[in-house]
A and B are shown apart, each in its own frame.
Chain A
Amino acid sequence: MTDPPAIEFAHVQYRTTGNRILLNDLSLSVQRGEILMLLGASGSGKTTTLKLINGLLQASEGQITIDGKPLQDWDLIRLRRHIGYAIQEVGLFPHYTVRDNAALVPRLENWPPQKLKARVDEVLHMVGLPPQEFAARYPNELSGGQRQRVGLARALAADPPILLMDEPFGALDPITRVALQREFKQLQQRLNKTVVFVTHDVGEALLLGDRIALMESGRLSGVFAPRDFLESSDPAVKPYVEAFRAMQQVFD
């Protein structure tokens, strides 16, 4: 028997309480260990898709399956501790130190203190924040890039098999962003998580993604490997590729 996909959407629709359809008939599966990029303009439904996975939003219709188990059969709290989450606004707890922020999920899971400390040290090293220098600091004593690293450390701490990332590098300056993208790509080669990564940046999608799911006004336009994406004649893809090429020409 083959492994079920890590995440599967079957004909999922999401409506707001005001009956506005934000996401329509989405069918998509994410394989174990791949990075799937959700690419699209704002309002295309990328973030909605992400929040449906960890139950921050509930699908109005259709079926979402995580690790072969329907979402509604999961205990929501258990599911969320099984899924790391990193967002653009970071959402660090301002009254917690870097260490306590990173330790959040393992602590919720009642890890023994020694294992917890060792893991937090490890994960802070992993994201490039040596604990002896950073562990005792508060979020307001960090730069934007450092905060984002803490957000990533927090998402990784309990070693969840699935990672959801919502434009985690979006608010950073270009230099820090590229550095973090590179580090993240290297990290992923080691960690081999299943990652769903929301972005509106074609370059980022091409750099990080194993596959790119293109979204447009609440619908999936198609899923492409990065190479196919660049060569696709799909009318939905074209503007992105053209924008990307135009960017490249500036540098040539």
Chain B
Amino acid sequence: MFNFIFSHKREVLALTGEHLWLVGVSMLLAIAIGVPLGILLTRRPRYRGVVLGGSNIVQTIPSLALFGLLLPLPWLGARADRLAILALMLYALLPIIQNTFVGITGVDPPVREAAAAMGMTSRQILWHVELPLASGVIVAGIRVATVICVGLATIAAAIGAGGLGEFIFRGLSMVDNRVILAGAVPAAIMALAADQLLGLAQRLLTRKRH
């Protein structure tokens, strides 16, 4: 396996790069959409069922099916990587929205009440109290989503979006474990690295308390 990786170093690196790009872009989009949505749910609880329910349903769609289902979309369907990013982002949304919501609603009520009673505006409470106190939980959601995303991104190769899944699908059709592992091992390392890195961020964010 290692021989194969070394002899295909260039390709392994290129596909790893693609993989990182797919995961990175979809995670950034998921954070940019998921965190504000989570905040919105804490302000407008009646949307909670729709949003959490909706993102829950997305989670139940098998990944291969979701990639296929999105194919007919205009503009997005034109390029496989756009589709893959959209699908990965949809999968990443639920843990991020949910953890943002849970993190903020989990802020100790007397803390929130004191903040309001001291004359903090709703925006100040959000930025100086709720988000800092929820940050550990929010990052935990991002961490889960990232690990899921790294794994799911291997499926993206099935619609030709590239990434380390290329090796896995190629290896499967060649019935060659070395080729499968050349995709699976770097993907696993990437998932573990992301997990460790975000775990560290989570600890840093919560270190001063409890």
- Contacts from A to B (Cβ < 8 Å): 54, 56, 76-81, 83, 85, 87, 89-95, 104-105, 108, 138, 140, 151, 154, 164
Partner of A95, one of B110, B121, B133: B133
Partner of B209, one of A79, A83, A87, A140: A140
A89-B110, A91-B113, A94-B209 known; A108 vs B118 contact (CB < 8 Å): yes
8 A Cβ contacts from B130-183 to A:
132-133
Partner of A85, one of B114, B121, B124, B128: B114
Give the complex CA separation of A92 and B118 in angstroms: 11
Not counting A91-B115, A105-B119, a sample of 20 additional A-B residue pairs whose C-beta atoms are within 8 angstroms of each other reads A54-B117, A56-B113, A77-B119, A79-B119, A80-B118, A81-B118, A83-B117, A85-B114, A87-B110, A87-B117, A89-B108, A90-B110, A91-B111, A93-B114, A93-B129, A93-B133, A95-B133, A108-B118, A108-B120, A138-B208
Give the complex CA separation of A95 and B130 in angstroms: 11
Give the complex CA separation of A77 and B125 in angstroms: 12
Enumerate 14 A-B pairs (CB-CB under 8 Å) in ascending A order: A56-B116, A76-B119, A80-B119, A81-B118, A87-B110, A91-B110, A91-B112, A91-B113, A92-B111, A93-B115, A94-B210, A104-B118, A108-B118, A154-B118
Which B-chain residue is minimally distant from A138 (CB atoms)?
A: B208
Give the complex CA separation of A93 and B133 in angstroms: 9
Which B-chain residue is minimally distant from A105 (CB atoms)?
A: B118
- Complex interface bits, B94-111 against A, C-beta within 8 A gives 1, otherwise 0: 000000000000001011
A95-B132, A108-B124 known; A56 vs B209 contact (CB < 8 Å): no
Size of chain B's interface in residues, with CB distance under 8 A? 21
> What is the CB-to-nearest-CB distance from B38 to chain A, in angstroms, rounded to a whole number?
19
Q: Count contacts between A and B, CB distance < 8 Å.
A: 69
User: Judging by beta carbons under 8 Å apart, are A80 and B111 in contact?
Assistant: no
> What is the CB-to-nearest-CB distance from B207 to chain A, in angstroms, rounded to a whole number?
10
Give the complex CA separation of A95 and B208 in angstroms: 7
Q: Which residues of B contact A95 (CB under 8 A)?
A: 132-133, 208-209
> What is the CB-to-nearest-CB distance from A160 to chain B, in angstroms, rounded to a whole number?
10
> What is the CB-to-nearest-CB distance from A238 to chain B, in angstroms, rounded to a whole number?
34
User: Judging by beta carbons under 8 Å apart, are B116 and A87 in contact?
Assistant: no
Partner of A108, one of B113, B114, B119: B119
User: Judging by beta carbons under 8 Å apart, are A80 and B116 in contact?
Assistant: yes
Q: Which residues of B contact A138 (CB under 8 A)?
A: 208-209
User: Judging by beta carbons under 8 Å apart, are B120 and A93 in contact?
Assistant: no
Q: Which residues of B contact A104 (CB under 8 A)?
A: 118, 120
> What is the CB-to-nearest-CB distance from B31 to chain A, in angstroms, rounded to a whole number?
21
> What is the CB-to-nearest-CB distance from A222 to chain B, in angstroms, rounded to a whole number?
28
From B112, B115, B118, B208, residue with most partner A Cβ within 10 Å: B118
Partner of A81, one of B113, B119, B208, B209: B119
Give the complex CA separation of A79 and B119 in angstroms: 8
Q: Which residues of A contact B117 (CB under 8 A)?
A: 54, 56, 80, 83, 85, 87, 164
> What is the CB-to-nearest-CB distance from B173 to chain A, in angstroms, rounded to a whole number?
53
User: Judging by beta carbons under 8 Å apart, are B111 and A78 in contact?
Assistant: no
> What is the CB-to-nearest-CB distance from A86 to chain B, in angstroms, rounded to a whole number?
9
Give the complex CA separation of A83 and B128 in angstroms: 21
A78-B119, A81-B118, A108-B119 known; A87 vs B113 contact (CB < 8 Å): yes
Partner of A77, one of B111, B121, B128, B129: B121
Which B-chain residue is minimally distant from A140 (CB atoms)?
A: B209
> What is the CB-to-nearest-CB distance from B125 to chain A, in angstroms, rounded to a whole number?
10
Which B-chain residue is minimally distant from A139 (CB atoms)?
A: B209
> What is the CB-to-nearest-CB distance from A104 to chain B, in angstroms, rounded to a whole number?
5
Give the complex CA separation of A13 and B35 in angstroms: 40
Q: Which residues of B contact A90 (CB under 8 A)?
A: 110, 114
Give the complex CA separation of A152 and B128 in angstroms: 21
Give the complex CA separation of A92 and B107 in angstroms: 12
A85-B114, A108-B124, A138-B208 known; A91 vs B108 contact (CB < 8 Å): yes
